[in-house]
Chain A
């Protein structure tokens, strides 16, 4: 009962504090704002990337040319169409398909644009649909008999040329006319990595027009319940045997996620260093404020102790006051941090990364508790000083 009351008294006391003492809150406000905004952004990005990769399929294995994991845009050709047969024979593999890719110039009504042709196997297009690569909103599916037809992402169709490309119109590639048979929803995963110029054709068209006989990238899906790691290792082994060297690499959504997490983890570390420094500065600020308050209120402390306040109660009161000051700083920091997060979300959505950098409730609660604790830790020395004050000395204080 006695101690419970301390909270409302402490609250009144800090409301009575001089404005200047709140200037020392600066450090803690910046520290908490940095934590809240940057963790919010990191978590938002994490959620975004996880969502995108999950859309690509947690059951997919990608086979890429080269030996390093990364976002390859340069087109190497070390994979072969025959590799697909090898992969399809591996136990646990449900299906496999390849992408025949090449960079070309597309003409539409006297205008030209560089595009990335993605030649796919029409009978395996459903795999790309399952992974969210393709989601046809207008037109029809590709057929095995299709040759000079093309599918466009709606953002590409609308924004690339002065006038939007309509379904059933034609574009020109390498002197050949391609009829637009399908418009798909934008592929946000590809566009977030700057590959917004992908267009879809059949593998036959790429092979014939560009003498690109072999696929650039292979995609395998696994059976339900199969162990994706084991299948991935088996693909590595079998393809290496067939190629004689390891001139390719495989990756899964999980590998990509781990890579993204590692980068975000590094960002997080930097955040903590910056936030840590400002919080130490903030803590010293609170300590300073509380030391001033204890000195200014020496007589009051003497009175309280003379008329029956125990040292423990005085200690508790000043600890709570320091904690509340920390909490106020934390709350301001959270508001500022959320504002930065909202701005970041807005900027990111303009840039084509629709992610939410606003802090989660857990993050807000954590930040509040953290700032309370910082306040109380910083208030420890001043509160001890108040509690240990000799009442007679304190009453003589002018």
Chain B
């Protein structure tokens, strides 16, 4: 495989055993993500988008098949090593924000830096700078409950960026936002891509998916199509 492939999935199957029934969330998916790419995952509800994203971001182990992160197979790694990969190379943005409610915006952003062993004063400086970059300079000490949905998602983006990961993974990042905030978040993600981040985004809105360079279409746990998006401007990569 070429050198610039960061995530590579081979014949990934994910089956949820619900006792009487088995739910086949993923049915043999092959996927590659190259450094600097922006890929959208599309599909109807229940088609396995979230499951695929979780597997690709090593949050979830596949039932069978293999996922390689920078060419290393994750089946050979224990949970602590997977946590390390997530903490270092992947930044997560969730549909439901998933901020810790009793912590301030700054403390939420500082948390992944703690797991990387960054000293406290550096963590504070870094968190303040990123919150400034995402336009929340005046909301640093606010709790999530004191922020609007759009602001919360920007805190989440800031948290994803804290450790300066290679990849940003976003699962319907605008799904819980009004259209104005949604556009702002989308713009933020596009800027990140422009600045060199690799982006993997789940959405069920065609218009948002078109922001990517490539769209992977899922149905019933299978990739049914891969579209290359034609664009006037050329990617940095």
Taking Cβ atoms with an 8 Å cutoff, the residues of A that contact B are: 1-2, 5, 9, 16, 299-300, 302-313, 391-392, 395
Contacts and interface: CB of A to CB of B under 8 A. Distances in A.
A158 to B, nearest CB: 67
B87 A392 contact: no
Contact of A307 (B60, B79, B87, B117): B87
B142 interface: no
Interface residues of B, number: 26
A interface, by DSSP: helix, strand, loop or mixed?
helix
A304 B114 CA distance: 10
A5 B122 CA distance: 14
Given A2-B114, A306-B59, A392-B59, A311 B98 contact: no
Contact of A310 (B54, B60, B84, B119): B84
B10 interface: no
A311 to B, nearest CB: 5
Interface centre among B83, B86, B99, B100 (most CB of A within 10 A): B83
B86 A395 contact: no
Contact of A392 (B60, B112, B117): B60
A307 B115 contact: yes
10 tightest A-B CB contacts, nearest first: A308-B87, A308-B115, A310-B80, A310-B83, A307-B112, A1-B117, A2-B117, A392-B60, A303-B98, A309-B115
B232 interface: no
Given A311-B79, A313-B115, A306 B92 contact: yes
B102 A16 contact: yes
B119 A1 contact: yes
Given A16-B102, A308-B115, A310-B84, 11 more contacts: A1-B117, A2-B114, A2-B115, A2-B117, A302-B98, A305-B83, A307-B86, A308-B87, A308-B116, A391-B59, A392-B60
A2 B113 CA distance: 9
A384 to B, nearest CB: 13
Nearest to B100: A300
A306 B163 CA distance: 13
A307 B111 contact: yes
A208 to B, nearest CB: 89
Contacts of A392: 54, 59-60
Contacts of A309: 83, 87, 115
25 contacts: A2-B115, A2-B116, A2-B117, A9-B114, A299-B98, A302-B98, A303-B98, A303-B100, A306-B59, A306-B98, A307-B86, A308-B83, A308-B84, A308-B87, A308-B112, A308-B116, A309-B87, A309-B115, A310-B80, A310-B83, A311-B79, A311-B80, A392-B54, A392-B59, A392-B60
A306 B99 CA distance: 12
Interface string B153-176: 000000100010000000000000
B88 interface: yes
B131 to A, nearest CB: 16
Contacts of B163: 308
A310 B78 CA distance: 10
Nearest to A16: B102
B204 to A, nearest CB: 19
Nearest to A303: B98
B111 A304 contact: yes
Nearest to B163: A308
A299 B100 CA distance: 9
Nearest to B113: A308
A306 B79 CA distance: 11
Contact of B86 (A299, A306, A311): A306
A304 B112 CA distance: 8
Nearest to B80: A310
Contact of A311 (B83, B100, B111, B119): B83
A302 B92 CA distance: 12
A56 B159 CA distance: 75
B71 interface: no
Contacts of A303: 98-100
B38 interface: no
A395 B86 CA distance: 15
Interface string B31-69: 000000000000000000000001000011000000000
Nearest to B115: A308
Contacts of B88: 308
Contacts of A305: 83
B159 A307 contact: yes
A53 B98 CA distance: 70
Contacts of B119: 1
B112 A5 contact: no
A309 B110 CA distance: 13
Nearest to B94: A395
A172 B84 CA distance: 95
A1 B121 CA distance: 13
Contacts of B111: 304, 307
A77 B80 CA distance: 83
Nearest to A9: B114
B118 to A, nearest CB: 8
Nearest to A302: B98
Interface in B107-133: 111-112, 114-117, 119-120
